[in-house]
Structure 1
Amino acid sequence: MSSSKPSLDALRIDRSAIPPDRHGNAWIWWVFLLLVIGGVAAFFFSKRADVPVVKTAKVTEVSSGGSSRATLLNASGYVTARRSATVSSKVTGKVVEVLVDEGMEVKEGQLLARLDASNVSAGLRYAEAQLVATRTTLEETISNLDLAKKELVRFTGLSRSGAASESDFDRATAQARALGARLAKQTADVAVAEADVAQWKQQVEDNTILAPFSGIVTSKNAQPGEMISPMSVGGFTRTGICTIVDMKSLEIEVDVNESHINRVKPGQRVEATLDSYQDWKIPAKVIAIIPTADRQKATVKVRVGFDQLDPRILPDMGVKVAFQADETATLTGKSLTIPKSAVQDDGGQNVVWVLSGEKVERRAVSVSQTTGDQSTVSAGLTPGETIVTESSATLEDGRRVKTSDK
């Protein structure tokens, strides 16, 4: 028995002799390390995602020649019509017929619409009947007066010869005088009746609406069955039949900053460009400078007239104008051109973004003219520089960007 016990003890494992497991919590450290790496990567890629993607172009130098006027000032405004009217009636009435529509050309005096004139037409017929009756009575009095005058002549002769009494002579004289007075009154009555007829005729004419001048109908404001009035009375009463614009009176109204108004003078040459036809340069000139300033906007209104009108020019179109110098400058040598999309308006100043390495720089430039999708730059750039034409985000001076070809 004693000999077998040591043998069993020798088979037991002594756990106190085994060193502790140093790798039991190692997975926790691996997970922490992966989270840190993932966070750094996410931060890096988020920063890269914030980098705007831009399209670029080179500043090119081209040969130029010929002559052109220098631009002193650029401004914007709208095409306006000096003669435009919303045509209404002189009286309140119900519209029975409208003879015009939008886009129709009308002539001065042309019939535009009719109002219900049944009441005034009845009044006119009554006045005309009164005039006929008054004239008939006048004719009767004229005949009686002629007879009384003949009787007076006869009684005058008889009275001188003693064949007629004094009373007969007096009666004939009184009769002639009475008929003369009645004739004068009835003549006045005829004049009153004629004036009454003329008044009713005018009221009938007031129910027809005529074009005050030649032009184009730009809006139709009333329909048959509606009430129209020369003044606003509320409800559903219209104040106009249509609006007519004299297309021959079109011009440009521009608000010029009062600090630059010294560059503008009457008769000055202007080059106008409609927003709808940006490749079309329209010659114009300054008509007048309105002698007052807008204290709220600190601007002065300038009227600019077209040298020649065109059907493409329409009222209320947006237009940009370039006030030009009197002298014609000769352009020779080289000029710099860039895409028009690269030029931005920053508070009235033309700026471009120049790419320097991986960052952009804000650069003020002077644009002498724009033709089509190309702008000619007279100052601010050098040939071969790279400029931004499009950007996926708002640019800031010194901001890092990447080009679309990367």
Structure 2
Amino acid sequence: MAGQGARVDNAELLKELRIDRHQREDAPGSSGRGPWIAGIVVVLLLLIGAAGWWLLGHRAIPVQTATAVAPSAGGEAGAVLQATGYVTARRLATVSAQITGTLTAVLIEEGDHVEKGQILARLDDSGFKAQLEAVKAQADSAHAQVAQVQVQLTQSMHDAARLESLVGRGLVSKQSAEQARSQVAALRAQLNAQQQQARAADAQAAVAQVNFDYCVVRAPFSGVVTTKDAQVGEIISPLSAGGGFTRTGVGTIVDMDSLEVDVDVNEAYIGRVKPGMPAEAVLDAYPDWKIAAHVVAIVPTADRGKATVKVRVALENKDARVVPDMGARVSFLEEKPKPSVSVPQGVLVPATAIVQRDGRSVVFVLDGKQVRQRTVMPATQAYGELRLLPSAIKAGDSVVVSPPETLKDGSDVQIGKP
């Protein structure tokens, strides 16, 4: 009985270990689809790895660049002192009439360019014209009387000559000849007086002509009208009237060619400034515009309140943008060294832009978003942190500074901030 029980238990255990057919068909790896799935997974992994390798190989390399510049024979002049001031005009005039009169025409406006002698305004000239005609008539009358006395004198001289000849032959008395000579002398004196009166009349006519010409106001020099101070119908006079209804000027003219900068230099540093010293002016209105200038003169007086000395600075380049009373900053420069040698051929690049590749000195030049490798032969002469490249590089080319080892010819690059 005991042996039969053991055989039953073993049979039951074998049944439990038996795998059902349906379970076997559903078990993983029991069908032919298993190898295909594994193959697809392997292919995907290979594609992802290849894409990563491609992206890594074509990633833009960040670099910094510098511009190749042409060398110059002389060095740059450094600023030794800076001062502030204003643009001023050496030739500026408020134009007025030299007589008192009423304006009948004003021919200028602000901003007009005028030439020397151009008519700016006219005054009422009716009274001066009448006076001129009167004195001219008096002058003409005086000259007519001179001519009349001249004729009388000529006749008297002829009469005296005839009487002298008759006296010699005893036909007339000596008294008649003496009277004839006296008449000639009197007419000569009268002619001289009449000529003096004629000259006086001419002088009066000249004065009247000048007063008449004063009715026309003309530009004393070429320039630009900056203000218009009077209108038609107003009274203008060279003298200021107490009531304030009389204008003393028609307008103001500025000679733009005479513009310069007046700056106040601290008296503690005035010893650094010399006449003729080069300078550079920058207007407050145009901070990026540098104007070449030079020192004209140092005014020999100091401002006690500000402890400054005025310095006149001339602008070497005239421009319509420069107008009077503009604020300016002036940098006084050192004297530029005079060139002792000729300008070398080639361009200057930072020394860090030159690297070794395969035993050769090369420079990487920016070409769009890529770089091109160029073989160079640097000159032996050094220029501080720059090196001279006689060939292969042109002025204005952008070269890579400190190129990394991974940078090759044709590599994609990305310009980074220094």
CA shift for structure 1 position 253: 0.8
User: SS where residue 288 of structure 2 aligns?
Assistant: strand
1:295 aligns with 2:332: no
Equivalent position to 2:194, from 186, 191, 204: 186
Equivalent position to 1:74, from 69, 82, 90: 82
Q: How many aligned residue pairs are there?
A: 273
Provide the residue aligned with 2:220 in structure 1.
212
2-side partners of 1:173 and 1:291: how far apart?
A: 74
User: SS where residue 194 of structure 1 aligns?
Assistant: helix
1:318 aligns with 2:316: no
Q: 1:226 to 1:129 in 2, by over 3 A?
A: same
CA shift for structure 1 position 169: 2.4
**Larger CA deviation: 309-318 vs 172-181:** 172-181
Gaps of 5+ in 1: 1-60, 335-406
Equivalent position to 2:136, from 128, 131, 142: 128
User: SS where residue 311 of structure 1 aligns?
Assistant: coil
TM-score normalised by the chain length of structure 2 = 0.61
Gaps of 5+ in 2: 1-63, 338-347, 353-418
1:239 aligns with 2:245: no
Query: Residues 89 and 324 of structure 2 are in contact (CA less than 8 Å); yes or no, is this contact kept in structure 1?
Result: yes
1:171 aligns with 2:179: yes
CA shift for structure 1 position 327: 5.2
1:100 aligns with 2:108: yes
Provide the residue aligned with 1:138 in structure 2.
146
1-side partners of 2:272 and 2:156: how far apart?
A: 88
CA shift for structure 1 position 314: 1.1
AA at the equivalent of 2:218:
L
Provide the residue aligned with 1:225 in structure 2.
233
Q: 1:174 to 1:331 in 2, by over 3 A?
A: farther
Provide the residue aligned with 2:210 in structure 1.
202
2-side partners of 1:264 and 1:168: how far apart?
A: 91
Q: 1:287 to 1:173 in 2, by over 3 A?
A: closer
Provide the residue aligned with 1:147 in structure 2.
155
Query: Residues 237 and 246 of structure 2 are in contact (CA less than 8 Å); yes or no, is this contact kept in structure 1?
Result: yes
1-side partners of 2:65 and 2:239: how far apart?
A: 63
Provide the residue aligned with 1:273 in structure 2.
282
AA at the equivalent of 1:133:
S
Query: Residues 66 and 349 of structure 2 are in contact (CA less than 8 Å); yes or no, is this contact kept in structure 1?
Result: no
CA shift for structure 1 position 63: 6.8
User: SS where residue 201 of structure 1 aligns?
Assistant: helix
CA shift for structure 1 position 318: 1.1
Residues 312-331 of structure 1 show CA distances to partners (whole Å, capped at 9, x for unaligned) of: 11111111122223357x99
Query: Residues 152 and 172 of structure 1 are in contact (CA less than 8 Å); yes or no, is this contact kept in structure 2?
Result: yes
Query: Residues 92 and 229 of structure 1 are in contact (CA less than 8 Å); yes or no, is this contact kept in structure 2?
Result: yes
CA shift for structure 1 position 193: 1.1
Larger radius of gyration, structure 1 or 2?
Answer: 2
TM-score normalised by the chain length of structure 1 = 0.63
Over the aligned positions, Cα root-mean-square deviation in angstroms equals 2.4
1-side partners of 2:331 and 2:224: how far apart?
A: 29
User: SS where residue 316 of structure 1 aligns?
Assistant: coil
1-side partners of 2:123 and 2:92: how far apart?
A: 23
CA shift for structure 1 position 198: 1.0
AA at the equivalent of 1:307:
E
Percent of aligned positions with the same letter in both sequences?
45
**Larger CA deviation: 167-176 vs 93-102:** 167-176
Query: Residues 68 and 331 of structure 1 are in contact (CA less than 8 Å); yes or no, is this contact kept in structure 2?
Result: no
User: SS where residue 328 of structure 2 aligns?
Assistant: strand
Query: Residues 137 and 186 of structure 1 are in contact (CA less than 8 Å); yes or no, is this contact kept in structure 2?
Result: yes
2-side partners of 1:260 and 1:199: how far apart?
A: 56
1:282 aligns with 2:291: yes
2-side partners of 1:297 and 1:238: how far apart?
A: 36
- Greater per-residue strand proportion: 1
1-side partners of 2:87 and 2:203: how far apart?
A: 47
CA shift for structure 1 position 170: 3.0
User: SS where residue 326 of structure 1 aligns?
Assistant: coil
CA shift for structure 1 position 332: 7.6
CA shift for structure 1 position 117: 2.0
Provide the residue aligned with 1:26 in structure 2.
none
